[in-house]
Structure 1
Amino acid sequence: DRYKGRCYDIEAIPGEDDMFFAYVAYPIDLFEEGSVTNMLTSIVGNVFGFKALRALRLEDLRIPPAYVKTFFGPPHGIQVERDKLNKYGRALLGCTIKPKLGLSAKNYGRACYECLRGGLDFTKDDENVNSQPFMRWRDRFGFVAEAIYKSQAETGEIKGHYLNATAPDSEGMMYRAQVAKEFGVPIVMHDYLTGGFTANTSLANYCRNNGLLLHIHRAMHAVIDRQRIHGMHFRVLAKALRMSGGDHLHSGTVVGKLEGDRDVTLGFVDLMRDNYIERDRNRGVFFTQEWMG
């Protein structure tokens, strides 16, 4: 009995005759310390495929403080990023280079320079800019670094570019991050869902120890979170990322081309930024969450 999961409450969903919120608690000893991979494997591993279930959706998690403390979390955080960039009191402004695929490394670097010289703080790779035949990753890193240094010299401001270090394997990812550090750029990027939580945690640890900021792209999230009755909500993926490690994450927006409800979006933005978040069902926050820092 000591290791059983327990359903301690069932709540009807207004307007739905055959759907319910079930609140389930698991003993903390079931989970390996500091492992998002093990946590998700245990909670959402096989249960979503059971024949007895028509559909199942994980809406939220409450991670107890004792378990939160076993994770290192973001490599640096908001204040350290502002200190590195020497930019305070305003939002940071950036853009993704378009067309994201098809440019040569030299032309890509030129586009980065023009954006940074024109006033942006950052430019960025998109999620599928990795190392294609028309633009190999090392060439891109070199031309982008040149664009950063040139724009910094001309504007007197610190600039950056989110260099996507996502690679076919973890060793390649770590090597790309190392090369980015050698070029002296301030930030790298990772596709944490397609790349995997184990790889992401390794990259976050490297960035923490080597002074690199880490931007996270959520490519593939809608496969998991868009269906209303099956899968898991993005707030769960955001919490998992905060534990695995990332300095900032694509969170969606209330406007633009991608789906996003205003109150719910603001709810999981707070989950990523604040140290303590009160339960607020109007914003989709099912549990009070303490991040312990």
Structure 2
Amino acid sequence: MLFSRRKGFVSVRDTIQKDSMDEPLRSGLWNAIHICIWKQIEYSRYEQYFEQANVYGLFQNYWHNYFKRPLDNLPHDIESAHRVVRKYFFECKWYEVYDFIEFTASYCPENMAPEFIKFCNHIFEKELSAYRFVDGVLTDITSEEEIASIEEAIDTSSKFSGVNQHLKRALALLSDRKQPDYRNSIKESISAVESLCKCLTEDDKATLGGALNRIEKSHQIHPAFKKALSNLYGFTNDSGGIRHALLEEDILTYVDAKFMLVSCSSFVNYMIGKAGEKS
């Protein structure tokens, strides 16, 4: 893991790509097109002309429905058409790349679409895109509100060094693009909540359950909110939970770790706000 991520110096918006797209993400998506579509080009049994290729209909749709260009300007050879598409892909805006990827999934040969979508989702997860294909449509999996919640928690917890470091570590483990550690990211997210509870109760030995009971009385936490957090915390401590070695098959994903980070960030923001009301 790079120093900047390990130490939490990379911003949440640079980590989770929602309103931007770096070169590894763009290149990875192009490779998905290259491997799943361009490398699968076939011609009719007797003709090797562009018009006889299985992707000719896709290129016609690019020209007519996507680029909105005259069809008689569509090149007569596949190499020239490919160059036009490639030039556009690497020069267009980040959000236009998503448009193009979604359009390609809709209009490519039917037998190519499942593997193409699967490959794209792999790249989205690997490069921490905030989007995924769901039922053939690109969908937000990380909202602006979730990003803002993580940012706020890291910012406002600066006076609680333990809380701040746990949150930064959780984000760093989640965002390591070479070797993400979702299990330990979840641990760090929960540890941030524990650390904050101990700070607010001024009891380093307090368990989260005990701390919540005391905070509920002193800061007027709604019982339903307390129960929700207790249930979430219980997930990490039951016999099959994160903190036990009994779960041999690691099935945790980016979505699991992101959910825990967002949830714990929201709790940190809520409790720091509550504590501020009493100061």
Q: TM-score, normalised by structure 2?
A: 0.22
Q: TM-score, normalised by structure 1?
A: 0.21
Larger Rg: 2
- Which structure shows the higher helix fraction? 2
